[in-house]
Structure 1
Amino acid sequence: MPSAVKKVLHWLFWGFLIYAVITNPDRAADIVRAVWDIISQGFLNIGRFFNQLMGT
């Protein structure tokens, strides 16, 4: 993708993010919490996998 397109998409993303937080901060916080839970559970599951793999 050309650099100009990436820059426009980048600004659109951040603009939408700011708009979403300003217009509905409770929902935005719920989304961030859900994403954080998914990421943290993923890391925990990877750790469990390697623990089982190593036999501990």
Structure 2
Amino acid sequence: MPPTVKKVLHWLVWGFLIYAVITNPDRAADIVRAVWDILSQGVLNIGRFFNQLIS
């Protein structure tokens, strides 16, 4: 993609995120919380996997 298209898409994504947070902050917080839970569980599971490999 040309750099100008990437820049426009970048601004559109940030604009949408700001709009989503302003119009519905509770839902945005729920989404962030859910994503954080998924990522933290993934890291914990990877740690458990390598711990089992070492044991």
> Could you state the TM-score of these two structures normalised by the residue count of structure 2?
0.96
Let me know the Cα RMSD of the aligned residues: 0.5
Q: 1:27 — aligned with what?
A: 27
Instruction: Determine the C-alpha separation between the residues in 1 that align with 2:37 and 2:29.
Output: 12
Structure 1: where are the runs of 5+ without partners?
Answer: none
Runs ≥4 in structure 1, deviation > 2 angstroms? none
- Give unpaired runs (5+ residues) of structure 2: none
Count of residue correspondences: 55
- 2:49 aligns with 49
Structure 1 residue 2, shift from structure 2 partner: 1.3
> TM-score, normalising length from structure 1?
0.94
Give me the whole-angstrom Cα distance separating, in 2, the residues matched to 1:28 and 1:34. Answer: 10
Q: Name the % identity.
A: 87
